[in-house]
Structure 1
Amino acid sequence: MFYALGDIHGQMAQLDRALALIDADGGGDADLYFVGDLVDRGPDSRGVIQTIIDGQNAGKPWHCILGNHDLMFHQFVTSAKVLHPEILSGKTWLHHRLGGVRTLASYMGATELDHPGWISWDHANEHGLDPASDSLLAAFADAAKDAVPASHLDWIAALPLFIKAPHDHIFVHAGIRPNVATDDQAQSDLIWIREGWLDYGGELDAMYVHGHTALDFPQHHGNRINIDGGAGYGRPLVPTLFDGAGWFTLDDNGRTPLHP
C-alpha cells in the first residue's frame, strides 16, 4: 500500500490536513509520493518544502518528484531566470497567475516585497520581461539568494523527474511522451507536457500517476491518474492511496474508491 499527494502549491494548511487524514487511515509509516509543484500561489511554500525535508530526515518513506514550478523557483534564485518558453502566454514566473512572488514572500517576508518599483514591475509585465527592469530583477534575485536556504535549493536540485513504484506504477509530474521509453523522456515533457498526453487514450507500459493539470478532483483515466485536485487554486488537497488492488481518495469520512 502507498499514498500520493498532488500539487500542493504552498498550501501548508492543506498539507497538514492531508497528512492527518493519511495518519488516520493508518498510513503514517507508509510510502508517500509527492508529484511536485510544492511551491507558488499559496502562502507558505517554505513551510511545505521544510515539512517534506523534515519528514525525510526523520526516516519517513516520503518520495518527491520535481515539478515545473519547483524548477522555476530554483532557476530564479540561482540565475534570475523568469521567462520560460513553455509558458506560451509569455507571463513570467513572477506574474501573479504563476505565483512566484508569493513563494519569495514566504522566504523574504512581504515587507521586503513592498518596494514600489518591484510592485510596478510585477503588475506591468504581463507579457514578458521589460529589459529596462533587469537591474531591479537582479536585485531581487540577489535578495532571494540571501533568504532561501542552500539546503532547500540543493534538495530541489536533487529531485528526480520520475519514480517507479510498486505494482507497475510510475510517478511523474506532468506526464510522458507516449511511445517513448521512460528513460528516454525529455525533461521538458516530464514536467510540462499536456498536448499529446492528456488526449492520449492508448495503452501505456505502466499506470502513470501525475499532477500539473489542475482538476476539480483527482481523476482516474484508465491509463493514467491525475491527482492534482486544484489546491493551487484554493481547492482541497485530496490524499489518494493504492491498497494493492485499487485506488481510493481520502476525506474525513474515510476512503472512497477512485474508478476509471
Structure 2
Amino acid sequence: MQPIFAVGDIHGQLEELHKVLDHIASDAEADAPVVFTGDFVDRGANSAAVIDTLMQGQTEGKPWTCLMGNHDRYLLRYLENPAYQDPETSRPLYYTDPPIGGDKTLASYGVDTDPRRWPEDIHKDALAAVPQAHRDWISGLPRIHETDEHIFVHAGLRPGVPLEEQAEDDLVWIREPFLSDTRDYGRLVVHGHTALQMPELYDNRLNLDGGAGYGRPLHAVLLLGRDPLLVGAFGRSSL
C-alpha cells in the first residue's frame, strides 16, 4: 500500500497552494507522490503563478501528477476562440464572465480585462501574454490517473461506462448521475469539481473540492489505501 497525497481544485489561490505544499513537506510521508485534481486557473488572483509553481515542481523531479480540469481546458479553448462557450456550463457564459473567472486568470498574466475594452483586443493581448509553455503544459495534462486502489479524475466518471471508454467531457465536467451513484467502482474515485465546504468521503468516492475557488481553504489529504487523512498545520486529522 503506497501512500499518496491528493490536492483539490486550486483556482489561482497561490498562497493556499503554498500552505498545502508546506503541510505535505512537514508530513512523515513527504516524499510520497502528489496528485492535483485540476482547475488550477480562474476565479483566484494568481493562476499564472500557480501554473509556474506546479511546472517548476515537476521540472525539479517532484512526483507530482496534475490532472486537467474543466477550467484549465476552458482557458485553452478561449485562446483558440474568444467567443467559445462550453456547452457543459449551466447557462451560456463566456470565459471572461465572472462566474467562470477567466478574467482573473488573464489579469494574472498582465492582460487588461476591463469589460469596457473590446473583447477582440482582450483576446489579442491574451494570446501575446500567456506563454506557449503554459499552453503546452495544460494541453498535455492527463485526464485520469490510476493506482491499485484509486482512480483520480477532475469531475468524476459516467456510471456504467468502462474506464477506457470514459469521455473527456465527463471526466472534466460531470456531476449527475455520478454524484448520486452509489456503486462500487472497485477503487476509490478521488475527484474535485463540485465545491463543498470541506472535502467529504463517501462509500465509493472522495470529493476534495473544499471551495478554494470561492475563497475557502485549499486542502490536501494523505491516502492510506481508501482511508483519507487531512494534512494540515497541526498534522493529520480524520475527515
Regarding TM over 0.5, the answer is yes
User: What corresponds to 2:131 in structure 1?
Assistant: 149
The amino acid across from 1:207 in the alignment is: L
Q: 1:252 to 1:93 in 2, by over 3 A?
A: same
**Are residue 237 (structure 1) and residue 221 (structure 2) matched?**
no
Q: C-alpha separation between the residues in 2 aligned to 1:138 and 1:150?
A: 20
Q: What do residues 14-50 of structure 1 show as CA deviations (whole Å, max 9, x unaligned)?
A: 0000000011113432200000000000000001001
Structure 1 residue 81: deviation in Å? 4.1
| Residues 7 and 232, structure 1, Cα contact 8 Å, conserved in 2 | yes
Q: C-alpha separation between the residues in 1 aligned to 2:11 and 2:213?
A: 5
Q: C-alpha separation between the residues in 1 aligned to 2:194 and 2:235?
A: 25
User: What corresponds to 1:161 in structure 2?
Assistant: 143
Q: What do residues 59-108 of structure 1 show as CA deviations (whole Å, max 9, x unaligned)?
A: 00000110000000111123324311111221222111211000000002
User: What corresponds to 2:116 in structure 1?
Assistant: 117
Determine which structure has more spread, i.e. the larger CA radius of gyration. Answer: 1
**Are residue 188 (structure 1) and residue 202 (structure 2) matched?**
no
Q: C-alpha separation between the residues in 2 aligned to 1:44 and 1:64?
A: 17
User: What corresponds to 1:67 in structure 2?
Assistant: 69
| Residues 75 and 102, structure 2, Cα contact 8 Å, conserved in 1 | yes
After superposing the two structures, state which structure 1 stretch, 89-98 or 226-235, moved more.
89-98
User: What corresponds to 2:157 in structure 1?
Assistant: 176
| Residues 150 and 226, structure 2, Cα contact 8 Å, conserved in 1 | no
Q: C-alpha separation between the residues in 1 aligned to 2:227 and 2:57?
A: 26
SS in 2 for 1:117: coil
Q: C-alpha separation between the residues in 2 aligned to 1:90 and 1:14?
A: 30
Q: Which has the higher helix share?
A: 1
After superposing the two structures, state which structure 1 stretch, 20-29 or 231-240, moved more.
20-29
User: What corresponds to 2:179 in structure 1?
Assistant: 198
The one of 187, 197, 205 aligned to 1:216: 197
Structure 1 residue 217: deviation in Å? 0.4
Percent identity among equivalent residues?
43
User: What corresponds to 1:93 in structure 2?
Assistant: 95
User: What corresponds to 2:20 in structure 1?
Assistant: 18
User: What corresponds to 1:77 in structure 2?
Assistant: 79
SS in 2 for 1:108: coil
Corresponding pairs, count: 237
Unpaired stretches in structure 2, ≥5 consecutive residues: none
Please provide the CA RMSD for this pair. 1.3
| Residues 12 and 42, structure 2, Cα contact 8 Å, conserved in 1 | yes
SS in 2 for 1:74: helix
**Are residue 251 (structure 1) and residue 237 (structure 2) matched?**
no
Q: If the length of structure 1 is used for normalisation, what is the TM-score?
A: 0.88
Deviating 4+ runs (over 3 angstroms): none
The one of 33, 45, 51 aligned to 1:43: 45
